[in-house]
Amino acid sequence: MSMRYIISFLLCLVTLSSISQNELMQKYDLMPWPKEVADNSQKFIIDRHFTIAVNDIENAKIFKSTTSFLRRLSGRTGVFIQKGFAVDTSEVKNPSLLINFERPGKLEINEDESFELVVTSMQITINAVTDIGVLRALETLLQLSSNTKTEFFFQGAIINDAPRFPWRGLMIDVARHYEPLDVLKRNLDAMALVKLNVFHWHLTDDQGFRVQVNSWPKLHELGSDKQYYTQNEIKELVQYASDLGIRVVPEFDIPGHATSWLVAYPEIASKDTIYEIERYAGIFDPTLDPTNNKTYGILNDVFSEMALLFPDKYFHIGGDENEGKHWDENKEIQAFKKKHDLKTNHELQNYFNIKVLEILKKNNKIMMGWDEIFQPNLPKNVVIHSWRGKESMLKAAKQGYKTVLSKGYYIDLLNSVTDHYNNEPIVESNGLTDEQLKNILGGEAAMWGELVTPLTIDSRIWPRTAAIAERFWSDKNVKDVKNMYKRLQTVSNRLEELGITHIRNRDVILRNISNYQNISSLINLTGICEPLKAYQRNKGGTEYKSYSPFTQFVDACNTDAVDARYFNENVDHYLQHPTEETKTILISLFDKWIQNNAEFIKINNNPMLNEIASLSQNLAEISSILKGQLQQSKFDSANYLYAQELLKELSMPTADTELAIVPGLKKLTSTMSD
Amino acid sequence: MSMRYIISFLLCLVTLSSISQNELMQKYDLMPWPKEVADNSQKFIIDRHFTIAVNDIENAKIFKSTTSFLRRLSGRTGVFIQKGFAVDTSEVKNPSLLINFERPGKLEINEDESFELVVTSMQITINAVTDIGVLRALETLLQLSSNTKTEFFFQGAIINDAPRFPWRGLMIDVARHYEPLDVLKRNLDAMALVKLNVFHWHLTDDQGFRVQVNSWPKLHELGSDKQYYTQNEIKELVQYASDLGIRVVPEFDIPGHATSWLVAYPEIASKDTIYEIERYAGIFDPTLDPTNNKTYGILNDVFSEMALLFPDKYFHIGGDENEGKHWDENKEIQAFKKKHDLKTNHELQNYFNIKVLEILKKNNKIMMGWDEIFQPNLPKNVVIHSWRGKESMLKAAKQGYKTVLSKGYYIDLLNSVTDHYNNEPIVESNGLTDEQLKNILGGEAAMWGELVTPLTIDSRIWPRTAAIAERFWSDKNVKDVKNMYKRLQTVSNRLEELGITHIRNRDVILRNISNYQNISSLINLTGICEPLKAYQRNKGGTEYKSYSPFTQFVDACNTDAVDARYFNENVDHYLQHPTEETKTILISLFDKWIQNNAEFIKINNNPMLNEIASLSQNLAEISSILKGQLQQSKFDSANYLYAQELLKELSMPTADTELAIVPGLKKLTSTMSD
């Protein structure tokens, strides 16, 4: 067996084409891009006789992942694969896919996830140190599937792969909006598809306490609107993640962001008042009382209980955005600060953190917290989670703290994927030694939940997070944005196959707001409208409550609107090379938007479309003007002025979206007067 | 409060328009249709100030259902309802919706589900005996929502409602294909929407044993491919159903359909052989040994354990399709029959059933089984579940047995909804006394799982089951098929809103088989192609294994294809009244199908489309001929012969679908030679 592997490997080497990295990235839609990949110009045909053999089929991760692999492959291709399960190596001669691994992996940081994957026309082999490496390899193999008009096949390749960073995470905030277990499960599936390995579960915040706690049950009873995970569900999710080679790091955000704790137990608050679950978004004042022994009593019980529920070594205590207003208002807390020589609220929070650290240590956990916990006197064995900037991350790493970066990966900002993709964690000339660089464990995409529900959360996470996953896994030199977009499109399709709802739920929203009429005109508008970025949608956090409707046109829109990118690019082409060809592309887009308004008007009988009507109308009008301009190439000052007026309106947010073709429209309009 | 109710009720009566049942059914898209409806020509405007008050907000069912009501209403309308939760009657003056009920309902058969719902322009009131009645009323109220271009409102109405039958069920078979909990939960939501109240959970069969059993753990360990519900999940689902006023009746199918039991414990089989989980569909021979004490030992332990897990009084033991082949082959069983004077295998099975009945009685359960358990000597307190015919149901009812009907409601046959809707359970001149008629408890739609997966099951259940639900709830005189189709369309949309995936997942399948290109040509084809009916898709059960791909074109098709119905109707219109108008409709459909083939050809680059290509081509050609014929109205014998040839091909199944416009095409073609 190992002999056969060596031979096929040698055979491959012989026939390797010498093509460039660029060409490889055109050929293979792999994401994250592997460490080493070579093209052997072969392909493995997928037919009903496909079989898998493994050296240890009793391994539960391997059984589940190979079974799931076969279902996904069969579902994608329609091939009636006769053998529905992988078998032991001894049970089949010449399996199509031969898997070998050395040992079960541990769900710990720095566990070996490396693998070799070789696809020849004769056989596919996976070799890995751990079963987790096998999972990673199976995902890569599924990304190699392709088809002609008559057959499906795996692209031939020789791949050696291993991650750049050991900590590659996605944080999901289930406090602002509760997300049922199935939403989390499908997102874990998607994480595994792009080789993310840490699910950071933001479980408590002002808007909700989402875990059943037996020691202090009012936390979930009063702090959750009855929307919480039972301990059985937590165990189920941790197991589900584990089967995918994903660690689960829970976050209980304290001492701020803690209204839901105080709804349950106001006696540990810093201010004597009546607490209610927060319905708005923002930074609020309710804070645990760091001078009250009962606070630590409750924290001790809750965290000791949670420590058993969450097996991972790391335990996130939040610690962010505590402005200490209620501390300042409380005379006893002021007296306490004086007595203990704590000059600032930061020092008081540090005092608090060190007490919490003792509780976690006792429970054999490593403490992790956001930037703000990084204070002098903090022991070195805590992890600093940077959300405010790379500088603080580098500073912490330099001082010997382990760090994880989320600054630049806040996907709820709804910025373009390009921004996140270009956000290289480790800047040049960072002044760190190689040893200090190792303190940078990796990063996490952060999905804050104020504006998402089960209907929309997938579209806010995916496909962008796949590009972030590549940033964490692949070499820093993998950074061709245009090629990333090409590969991301394929990953996006595969995510749909896996159950992610980012595409299908767009149409669900559009059907509702159109009274279930023909939605093609609305789909076209989502091709050029993007949700407002950088929290402009809910300025000040007071427009949307947690139970406001997230079923609007904007919720069907997404970043990186596809027609908008195409239009803006082609405006640039046209302005550089005003050929008939580039002109034709622009004119056909203008025709589309002119026609679209006519279609839109037919279905415009639902109040939820009111705000869109003027957008659609203005778009049709400016399209008409610019089309005329392109065709006639002569200046008409009345048209120009009217176009300027329309542009002004189109540049304003509409129904919480922005028209992403405005840059191109502006450029074209400005040429009218040239 | 009750005074106010009376006054508003009187006000309504004063302004009641006297319109016919027909007009009412045009106005209101209610399904199931209520017992009594009156139109008061009013409407209640839905705005941000909408509030709900209840006389007991501590009731968990009421808290959950009113919260869910508010989320659904807000999501549907986009209205930012300020008050996110219902409150106690004492806390708000003049609530928009005032709910009163007398007591918590019990999840038992014959519990009171009646309600009064009055919508005036001033207020909406719900009065019910039980909280379950309130749930039913809230669903009706949501069905009254409507909109103009500028506002949303509830249609004014005075409704008095109560069900015709107390047992209104949906059976889902999770043995042939495992369905994760979230699939079942969304189907329970949908059941509640149409007032079904029994979830019959077919948990075991030859292809899988889907429950964790602690007393005999190999059942789930070896009998399920690791796809089973933990006991915690069962409890969770039972609670979820209970919150919706739905009972859960488990089925453990014995003594046949029991391969999965024997994979775990071959020692209780009737034949000494090696058992493996069945991968095909059909009727198989493995059968429990009714002469072996260990069989009853295991059944006693398992059922006693399950009795605690499933609180409902009723317990379904299957009992169907045992052909007794392995009994005939076993000499000891033959000897046993002689010794106990059991002449036939039916008598042996009756012996078995009576032993099982003792176990269930001891656990305080009422036994239920399919037709085959209906044998002389069977005690009267068992329920006969008729799948073979109404005659056996009537016979059983006449003899004093309680009965439930599923014959005519097998939705996996993929027949038209019309068939199920027209299937009145109680035929005229049935010869039963009024007392005997009460033995007919109701019916169940039956979703057998051989050909469905989580991706497709919703589209096989919905929307058709809504029409069946109406058959069980509404008066037998509610039977206008055309109007049913109109109301069903609205229900179908509301089911999508609720999370049912019957519409969205069609596109998921089509995107995959088209390599994620433009799927509009495929959507058009699903408008006229229907899945093969009556199990023709998997003749003999040997083409599809349980893990074969159900991701094909046919899986995106559904019964009652919408363009097909439209076309066939319009052919009839045209043939009766060959006006320009009817001609134009037909020609525009032919144009659509001609154009469609051109679009299809552009995307035809995936092997999964191969079989569709000729269908699309032939359709375009016959469309072209018939269009020409309609336009020219002169006979062309060559065209006629070619059309006949095309029709022959189009009448053959393609890719497991049938072309549902063939009847109309045939009629039109035959007129060519007239």
pLDDT at B540: 80
Contact A149 B607 (CB under 8 A): yes
pLDDT at A5: 53
Q: Is A497 one of the catalytic residues?
A: no
ipTM exceeding cut-off 0.90 for this assembly: yes
3-class SS at B402?
strand
Q: Tell me the DSSP string of B54-82.
A: ES-TT-HHHHHHHHHHHHHHHHHH----S
Nearest partner of A653 among A599, A598, A605, A615, judged by Cα: A615
Give me B641's structure tokens: 């012969």
Question: How much of chain A exceeds pLDDT 70, in percent?
Answer: 97
Q: What is the mean pLDDT of residues A437-442?
A: 97
Q: Is residue A349 very low, low, confident or very high in pLDDT (cuts 50, 70, 90)?
A: very high
Assign 3-state DSSP to chain B and report helix, strand, coil percentages, each to 5: 45, 15, 40
Do residues A124 and A96 make contact, with C-beta atoms less than 8 angstroms apart? yes
Gap between the Cα atoms of B452 and A238, Å rounded: 29
pLDDT at B6: 54
- Please determine, for residue A14, whether its predicted confidence score (pLDDT) is greater than 50: no
- Please determine, for residue A1, whether its predicted confidence score (pLDDT) is greater than 50: no
Nearest partner of B175 among B501, B461, B546, B552, judged by Cα: B546
Q: pLDDT digits over B602-643, tens only?
A: 999 999 999 999 999 999 999 999 999 999 866 678 889 999
Q: Which residues of chain B make contact with A76, given a CB cutoff of 8 A?
A: 512, 551
Nearest partner of A251 among A210, A292, A222, judged by Cα: A210
pLDDT at B1: 40
**Strand runs (DSSP E) across B334-438, as ranges?**
366-370, 383-386, 402-405
Helical axes A345-362 vs A331-339, angle rounded to 10°: 80
A48: phi then psi, degrees, rounded to nearest 5: -65, -15
Q: What is the mean pLDDT of residues B6-19?
A: 53
As a dihedral over the C-alpha atoms of residue A544, residue A546, residue A548, residue A550, rounded to 10 degrees, the angle is: 90
Gap between the Cα atoms of B652 and B637, Å rounded: 23
- Taking only residues 249 to 288 of chain A, the set having a beta carbon closer than 8 angstroms to any beta carbon of chain B reads 279
Residue of A551, A552, A610 to mutate when probing chain B, most B C-beta within 10 A: A551
pLDDT at B542: 85
What does pLDDT average to over chain A?
Answer: 95
In terms of DSSP H, where are the helices of B363-432? Answer: 390-398, 417-421
**Residue A388 DSSP code:** S
**Residue B217 DSSP code:** T
Q: Which residues of chain A make contact with B145, given a CB cutoff of 8 A?
A: none
3-class SS at B581?
helix
Do residues A552 and B78 make contact, with C-beta atoms less than 8 angstroms apart? yes
pLDDT at B14: 47
Do residues A25 and A60 make contact, with C-beta atoms less than 8 angstroms apart? no
**C-alpha B193, offset from chain centre:** 12
- Report the gap between the CA of A490 and the closest CA in chain B (Å): 9
Gap between the Cα atoms of B253 and B268, Å rounded: 15
Amino acid at residue number A46: I
pLDDT at B490: 98
Gap between the Cα atoms of A87 and A63, Å rounded: 9
The pTM score is 0.96
Side-chain-facing half-sphere of A464: CA atoms under 13 Å: 30
Sign (positive or negative) of CA dihedral B221, B227, B232, B238? negative
Three-state helix/strand/coil letters over A456-489: CHHHHHCCHHHHHHHHHHCCCCCCCHHHHHHHHH
- Please determine, for residue A504, whether its predicted confidence score (pLDDT) is greater than 80: yes
**Residue B202 DSSP code:** E
Gap between the Cα atoms of B610 and A541, Å rounded: 53
Buried b (16+ CB within 10 A) or exposed e, B661-670: bbebbbebbe
Q: Which residues partner with B531 through β-bridges?
A: B657
A236 touches chain B (CB under 8 A): yes
Nearest CA in chain A to B83: A547
pLDDT at B8: 53
3-class SS at A25?
helix
Residue of A516, A523, A555 to mutate when probing chain B, most B C-beta within 10 A: A516
B48 touches chain A (CB under 8 A): no
For chain A, what is the largest distance between any 2 Cα atoms, rounded to a whole number of angstroms? 81
Give me A247's structure tokens: 């660690």
Question: How much of chain A exceeds pLDDT 90, in percent?
Answer: 91
Q: What is the mean pLDDT of residues A148-161?
A: 98
Q: What is the mean pLDDT of residues A584-606?
A: 97
- Report the gap between the CA of B608 and the closest CA in chain A (Å): 6
Question: How much of chain B exceeds pLDDT 70, in percent?
Answer: 97
Q: What is the mean pLDDT of residues B493-518?
A: 98
Gap between the Cα atoms of A655 and A531, Å rounded: 9
Q: pLDDT digits over B268-282, tens only?
A: 999 999 999 999 999
Give me B457's structure tokens: 């099951």
**Strand runs (DSSP E) across A29-176, as ranges?**
36-38, 43-45, 52-54, 87-88, 97-103, 115-119, 124-130, 145-147, 152-155, 157-161, 167-173
Contact B508 A496 (CB under 8 A): yes
Q: pLDDT digits over A79-132, tens only?
A: 999 999 999 999 999 999 999 999 999 999 999 999 999 999 999 999 999 999
Lowest mean pLDDT among A90-104, A195-209, B5-19: B5-19
**Residue A229 DSSP code:** B
A486 touches chain B (CB under 8 A): no
pLDDT at B674: 64
Amino acid at residue number B395: K
Q: pLDDT digits over B171-204, tens only?
A: 999 999 999 999 999 999 999 999 999 999 999 9
- Please determine, for residue B495, whether its predicted confidence score (pLDDT) is greater than 50: yes
Q: What is the mean pLDDT of residues B113-136?
A: 98
A289: Cβ contacts below 8 Å, ≥ 6 apart: A268, A269, A270, A295, A330, A333
Q: pLDDT digits over B433-483, tens only?
A: 999 999 999 999 999 999 999 999 999 999 999 999 999 999 999 999 999
Q: Is residue A542 very low, low, confident or very high in pLDDT (cuts 50, 70, 90)?
A: confident
Q: Which of A236, A321, A347, A649 is catalytic?
A: A321
pLDDT at B5: 53
Nearest CA in chain A to B234: A232
- Please determine, for residue B573, whether its predicted confidence score (pLDDT) is greater than 70: yes
Which of B64, B79, B552 has its CB closest to that of A78?
B552
Q: Is residue B521 very low, low, confident or very high in pLDDT (cuts 50, 70, 90)?
A: very high
Gap between the Cα atoms of B107 and A355, Å rounded: 50
pLDDT at B672: 79
Contact B71 A547 (CB under 8 A): yes
Give me A81's structure tokens: 């694969």
